[in-house]
Amino acid sequence: MAKIISNFFISVDGVVEAPDQWHFPYWSDEMGAVVEAGMQSSVGMLMGRKLYEEWAAYWPTAEADPDVAKSINNARKFVVSNTLEKADWNNTTIISGDVAAQVREIKKELDGDIQMSGSATTVRWLLANGLLDELKLLVHPIAVGHGQRLFEDTPTHPLKLVESETFQTGVLNLTYVPDAG
């Protein structure tokens, strides 16, 4: 059975939007190893429509990092959307209608990690529906002050810290699982 693992670059004040504007000064080999390990364990990627549209426009023709582009382009991709009518990007399946049932079925069919990068709205929905298995946060020591936060106007979701590490840059590598009590 697969696990859904959500990964975020996040500021200390909870901002996950536009990490390209504040994240890079904190990039390190330690962080690169964590990101690479997540990619290596992945049997698929789950994302919301907005992220899908951004990545589908960028990665198929990306030249900056050909190894990452090849990995992402060839990966199985699952897009949660009730508005997306077709997905032309290689190996993409649209999940719509009874999304919870379809996600449960995908988790049963696959063995390994279904990785997520971003898609805060989808992560909040997965957590509320008991479908998120792990939340991995790379907490950057910066207060961005504006932008979408991971948890905005959401119900309370108890989480349990199961792993933590501090990088030389001051970034915290934290892994949480839902805590049923």
Please indicate, yes or no, if residue 4 is contained in any of the structural domains: no
Please indicate, yes or no, if residue 161 is contained in any of the structural domains: no
Q: What is the pLDDT of residues 119-171, one digit of tens each?
A: 899 999 999 999 999 999 999 999 999 999 999 877 888 999 999 999 999 99
Residue 70 has what pLDDT? 87
pLDDT band at 181 (very low <50, low <70, confident <90, very high): low
Q: What is the pLDDT of residues 64-90, one digit of tens each?
A: 878 888 888 899 999 999 999 999 999
pLDDT band at 39 (very low <50, low <70, confident <90, very high): confident
Contact 179, 61 (CB under 8 A): no
Q: What is the pLDDT of residues 95-133, one digit of tens each?
A: 999 999 999 999 999 999 999 998 899 999 999 999 999
Please indicate, yes or no, if residue 19 is contained in any of the structural domains: no
**Residue-averaged pLDDT of the chain:** 93
- Residue 151 three-state SS: coil
Please indicate, yes or no, if residue 65 is contained in any of the structural domains: yes
Please indicate, yes or no, if residue 53 is contained in any of the structural domains: yes
Beta-carbon contacts of 146 under 8 Å, excluding residues fewer than 6 positions away, are 15
* CATH number of the domain that residue 68 is part of: 3.40.430.10
Where in the sequence is the domain holding 83, given as residue range(s)?
29-135
Please indicate, yes or no, if residue 169 is contained in any of the structural domains: no
Please indicate, yes or no, if residue 168 is contained in any of the structural domains: no
Please indicate, yes or no, if residue 113 is contained in any of the structural domains: yes
Sign of the dihedral through C-alpha 17, 150, 146, 29:
negative
- What's the domain count of the chain? 1
